[in-house]
A and B are shown apart, each in its own frame.
Chain A
Amino acid sequence: MQSKSARALYLIPYGAWILLFVVAPIALVGYYSLFDLHGSFTFGNYRNFFSSIYLRLTLSSFWYAFLITLFSLLIAYPTAYYLTKTKHKQLWLLLIIIPSWINLLLKTYAFIGIFGQYGPINALFAAIGIGNKQILFTDFSFIFVSVYIFIPFMILPIFNAIDRLNPALIDASRDLGANSWTTFRRVILPLTMNGVKSGIQVTFIPALSLFMITRLIAGNKVITLGTAIEQQFLVTQNWGMGSTIAVFLILFMFIIMLFTEQREKGGTGNGRNR
């Protein structure tokens, strides 16, 4: 009996936290999305969302988030794989994680200098005879910087998953005659899928709503849902429309969570336990 009431007591802080900082804000966003500029009740914001501008905005957000996630994954998976094979793997992992502790804005400003007309990259291009190129404010620079920022978050869960893989399984696969590609496809990849899914979750969802990088690196030529929300709240002061876009962003997140759900049993220690 005593343990039961004690358990209930322990739940109070957690419950209060969830209620105050998760449930209440989402409810407020939903509430505000139902009002127009004059504070009268309307579904007009939702109708407006399905107009061409916001649909195109959503599609382009998804497209860029997809590219960012894809490239992050392509780089992170092999990196994580080889990290688990190195001697001082914890040290290497730490070296990869440390840059993610530096303020995002600082790193972004650094890239403005690196990619600039007089930056080191263009100096290199000029030296090897390619000539000066416009790198800043292009799709390339936007995806490059975003991938750079998300890679540590992608590597961590994948690293954990691969690290936890029992090497005996790989030996067994080899003994049974599978070549290395089959081993990877049939044994390693399925068993580390949970790490990959977690990595996709922590990359794709924030990538949908990036907004500082869109201005500083892409020169506002790439627009994401995040930019649109920021503008509705700070410039137009149309909280209703801003909330509506946020509602859709939350919906998209749920859908992505559903797709990347961790199904397997025994996948207790997936990569999100950082």
Chain B
Amino acid sequence: MKDLIRAALAVLIVSALLMWANAELGKSAGKAGADTITVYNWGEYLDPDLLKEFTKETGIRVVYETFDSNEAMMTKIQQGGTSYDIAIPSEYMIEKMKENDLLIPLDHSKIPNLKHIDPYFLDLPFDPGNEFSIPYFWGTVGIAFNPELLDGDYDFSSWEDLWDPALRQKVILVDSAREVIGMGLNSLGYSLNSTDEKELDEASEKLATLAPNVKAIIGDEIVEMMQRKEAAIALTWSGQAADMMSVNEELDYAVPEEGSNLWFDNMVIPKTAANVDGAHKFINFMLDPEVAAQNADWVGYSTPNKDALDLMDPELVDDERYYPDEEIRDHLEVYRNLGPEMLGDYNERFLKFKMEMN
């Protein structure tokens, strides 16, 4: 019994010490300070040096947290436990958050750097007049591939190439319903926002025939698999493809001609914000051409900041794979918020697709 008490006491003392140390660390990290903002962003989606620079410039400390899906982000903001001041959702999620009244309107007079943004990326259907959101990065969905691992000459200018029987067990798909079902729809020439059950049935049937070629359906692990030559072909986002290529130069990226997804991630101020003024300063800071250029360099996705482009490596900026010109962009499609029923339908089709893979 004595031993038990002694052991329990030891545990309590150690826990108390750790808690105290944690609180002290929190203080020095600025968690308890008055002028802080909490930024909620995708993983690997912001150059950490810029956060330090922001603090140096404005005196506002940044608490940085990450998420790995739009849906998880929205759930957390809806619950409202943490006072997120900035979040960076994708376009269809902005539409949804607007519907659910989760966003605070922006004061454009506090964001003078907005003038640096290419007008192409402003005033888009998901947020007319940019009342709630400011462009952060944009990109496409396409096919990353390793020509060295493929026999024959593939350029993946068509989705149909993926169905080539010679590519048995070579294709990795991203674990995301909209991307995969969208690919099925696009390959048949339908819109990737289709809500027509007949078109969706056709797309599902078409996707089922891809089974022999599918090696796996995974998440962010794709990047490493492609870098290490574990896989030859991957359906992925342009930025992830850029990530892969930064390590393995053999790789290439293509957006098939039948059409694909064009997406935007925008900065918003959620209803949970405690420091709306600081959040505006942060948005304005990120739009500064030099900051945007440095960030785009680090992250690898395409920046909508036209003045930042002049400061970047011209070889990258002129690369049609990352910065497709307007003509190509115009036949790409932006995701629309399809509503919960259709999203459920897409997900059930995706679940069925996964079961057909085996």
Q: Which residues of A contact B (CB under 8 A)?
A: 37, 53, 56-57, 60, 112, 116-118, 134, 136-137, 139, 215-216, 219-223, 228, 231-232, 234-238, 241
Q: Is the CB of A53 within 8 A of B221?
A: no
With a CB–CB cut-off of 8 A, which chain A residues contact B219? 215
Query: What residues on A are CB-neighbors of B72 within 8 Å?
Result: 234
Considering only CB atoms, which chain A residue lies closest to B224 in the complex? Answer: A112
Q: Which residues of chain B come closer than 8 Å to A235, judged between CB atoms?
A: 69, 71, 177, 343, 347
Binding-face segment, B254-262, B314-322, B349-357: B349-357
B221 touching A231, Cβ below 8 Å: no
Give the docked Cα–Cα distance between A237 and B70 (Å): 11
Min distance, Cβ A160 to any Cβ of chain B, angstroms: 23
Q: Which of B7-15, B40-48, B183-191, B210-218 contacts A (4 or more CB under 8 A)?
A: B210-218
Give every chain A residue within 8 A of B229 (Cβ-Cβ). 117-118
Q: Are A241 and B344 in contact (CB under 8 A)?
A: yes
Q: Are A231 and B355 touching (Cβ within 8 A)?
A: no
- Is B230's CB under 8 angstroms from A118's CB? yes
Tell me, in angstroms, the Cα distance from A134 to B344 when the chains sit together: 33
Q: How far is the CB of A133 from chain B (nearest CB, A)?
A: 11
Q: Identify which of residues 56-94 in chain B touch chain A, using a CB-to-CB cut-off of 8 Å.
A: 69, 71-72, 74-75
Q: How far is the CA of A134 from the CA of B355 in the complex (A)?
A: 19
The CA-CA distance from A215 to B74 in the complex, in Å, is 23
Contact A215 B230 (CB under 8 A): no
Contacts of A222 in B (CB 8 A): 358
- Provide the bound-state CA to CA distance between A37 and B347, in Å: 14
Choice from A37, A57, A118, A216 contacting B340 with Cβ under 8 Å: A37
Q: Collect the chain A residues with CB atoms within 8 Å of residue B341's CB.
A: 37
What's the Cα separation between A231 and B72 when bound, in Å?
11
In the complex, besides A116-B228, A137-B216, A235-B177, 15 extra interface pairs with C-beta distance below 8 angstroms are A37-B341, A117-B230, A118-B229, A134-B169, A137-B215, A215-B218, A220-B218, A221-B217, A221-B357, A222-B358, A231-B347, A235-B71, A236-B340, A236-B347, A238-B344
**Interchain CA distance A136-B224 in the complex, whole Å:** 14
In chain A, what residue has the closest Cβ to B345? A236
Q: Which of B74, B172, B216, B343 contacts A236 (CB 8 A)?
A: B343
Q: What chain A residues lie within 8 Å of B215 (beta carbons)?
A: 134, 137, 219
* Residue contact A220 to B71, C-beta cutoff 8 Å: no
Q: A220-B175, A221-B357, A223-B355 are in contact. Are A234 and B75 (CB under 8 A)?
A: yes
Q: Give 8 CB contacts A-B under 8 Å.
A: A37-B344, A57-B351, A216-B221, A221-B216, A221-B354, A237-B75, A238-B340, A241-B344
Q: Chain B nearest CB: distance from A15 CB in Å?
A: 22
Given contacts A118-B229, A139-B358, A222-B358, is CB(A236)–CB(B344) below 8 Å? yes
Are A237 and B358 in contact, CB atoms less than 8 angstroms apart?
no
Shortest distance between the CB of B101 and any CB in chain A (Å): 16
B151 to chain A, nearest CB (A): 15
5 closest Cβ pairs, A-B complex: A219-B216, A220-B217, A137-B216, A221-B357, A236-B347
